[in-house]
Structure 1
Amino acid sequence: MFELFRYSNSENLTRSKYHKDFRRIYESGIHSLKKLERGQNFKERGFASWESFAVGKWNEALSLIEEKREIYTQQFQKAAELGILERRLRVVEFPVTPYVQWEFFVLRLRVELGDNIRVMDARNISDIEQERPVPEVVILGNEVMYEVMYDDEGNAAGANRFTDRKVIHETSAGFDVLFDRGERFEEFFDREIAPLAPPSVGH
């Protein structure tokens, strides 16, 4: 699984070029978006909820998530208008990192509004990840695949762009296998995230 991905050529895009290219392809007539998320620690500067989370203001961080409701609603409406089926698989390591704990409250809002998210316990794919983690990718139909890149501190730093149809097909098929094996978001959240005490972060 994901064998071709390792050895394929790609074009590196800056963050701004990645976003521009993504929007162009997204609106070009594709019918699916698949997102595989593997990292456990990211920074989301400019997102008010994350900024509060990062300085240890947990209750404020959770309340600020609601500010995204209208933006997310518009995103899902646009996807529906374009006929795009969006699916996301979130891989989670244990113990759950503070970032992932916070992120799951954001994802809970997305699920409430119609996002199709499943969760994979990283321990259940240890056989697949013996040599390296599964890739952090966004796949737009059969047209383009992006390996999302981050710097050493977890800041978004652009993407590697793949257009080889064989690579996209194999990676997409691997995503489908894992997505089918994934757990429903609500069940995972209620069991693993909701009972956790507020994380210790900030200063």
Structure 2
Amino acid sequence: MNARPPRIDSADGRVLPLREYAADFLVLFHEIDGVIWKLERAQDFDEGDNPSWNAMRAGDWERSLALLEEAREAIAADLPARATMRRVRVVEWPLTPYMQWELHLLALRERLGEGCRVVAAEDVAGLEADGPLPELVIFPGHHAYRVRYDERGACVGARKVADPAVVEPWTELVASLYDRAEDLGDYVRRRVEPLPPPAP
């Protein structure tokens, strides 16, 4: 699919503050079968009190990577119990410090069973004439969350959209991007691991 689907921000939906979004999300996350799709476009987020992220921000890259490995059990518990998680990560170069860190995190998630693939920002430019692609989580046969962030990149909730005429085209688009994208583990080994530590 090369055309951008209907605008999800203007579709009928329900805006959920962060706490309501988290609770609503968990109702289905560990119970649903099928594929849960995730599309990530922004190059900077605020990870709050994540120890590994904060170690990177403090300039301790080795400690940051070690803390990711120490969090392996918690990260594994964050994967869906029954569904398959498939993530498309749009990446711009040069990498932001956040992206360099997150790609290591996603490589670990991939080793733990999540499907993660990378698409270059220039490869989705034709879909972004009306603005960047949205941050999305799509539950199969149910609804999509258009995840919302503040100016710092901290999650503040989501817009929940259940209209199949909106959700299905976005599902098809994310799936088609995933099919064309590069395996994240290979990408990280080839392009990210050789990089010097990110500047805090």
3-state SS of paired residue (1:176): helix
For residue 74 of structure 1, report the CA deviation from its aligned partner: 3.0
Query: Secondary structure of 1:3's partner?
Result: coil
SS in structure 2 at match of 1:126:
helix
User: Is 1:52 the counterpart of 2:60 in the alignment?
Assistant: no
Mapped to 1, the partners of 2:105 and 2:113 lie a distance apart of 13
Deviations 1:159-196 (A, max 9, x none): 11111111111110111111111111122112221121
For residues 11-90 of structure 1, what are the structure 2 equivalents within 5 Å?
A: 11-76=14-79, 79=81, 82=82, 84-90=83-89
**What is the DSSP-based 3-state SS (H/G/I as helix, E as strand, rest coil) of the residue aligned with 1:35?**
strand
Q: Map 1:105-144 to 2 at 5 A.
A: 105-144=104-143
Superposed CA offset, 1:93-123 (max 9, x none): 1111110001111111111111110000001
Provide the rounded CA distance (Å) in 2 between the counterparts of 1:54 and 1:199: 9
Q: With structure 2 as the length reference, what TM-score do the two structures score?
A: 0.93
Whichever structure has more helix as a proportion of its residues is 1
Aligned: 1:3 with 2:6: yes
SS in 2 for 1:173: helix
Structural RMSD (CA): 1.5
Give distance in 2, aligned partners of 1:26 and 1:106: 20
1:175 matched to 2:178? The reply is no
TM-score, normalization by structure 1: 0.91
Rate the CA distance shift 1:164–1:30 in 2: closer, same or farther, 3 A: farther
Question: After superposition, where does 1:145-160 map in structure 2 within 5 Å?
Answer: 145-160=144-159
Q: Give distance in 1, aligned partners of 2:97 and 2:9.
A: 30
Deviating above 3 A after TM superposition, structure 1's stretches of 4 or more consecutive aligned residues are 27-30
1:104 correspondence with 2:103: yes
Q: Percent identical across equivalent pairs?
A: 34
* CA displacement, residues 43-76 of structure 1 (integer Å, 9 cap, x when unaligned): 1112110111122211111111012211223344
Cα gap change, 1:60 to 1:105, in 2 (>3 Å): same
Assess, with a 3 A threshold, how the Cα gap between structure 1 residues 176 and 153 changes in structure 2: closer, same or farther: same
Displacement of 1:5 in angstroms is: 2.5
Answer whether contact 2:8 2:161 (CA < 8 A) is retained. no
Contact kept? 1:30, 1:140, Cα under 8 Å = no
Whether the 8 Å CA contact 1:32–1:141 is kept in 2: the answer is yes
SS at match of 1:64: helix
Aligned length: 197
Q: Deviations over 1:112-139 (max 9, x none)?
A: 1111100000011111112211111000
Shift of residue 153, structure 1, vs aligned partner: 0.7
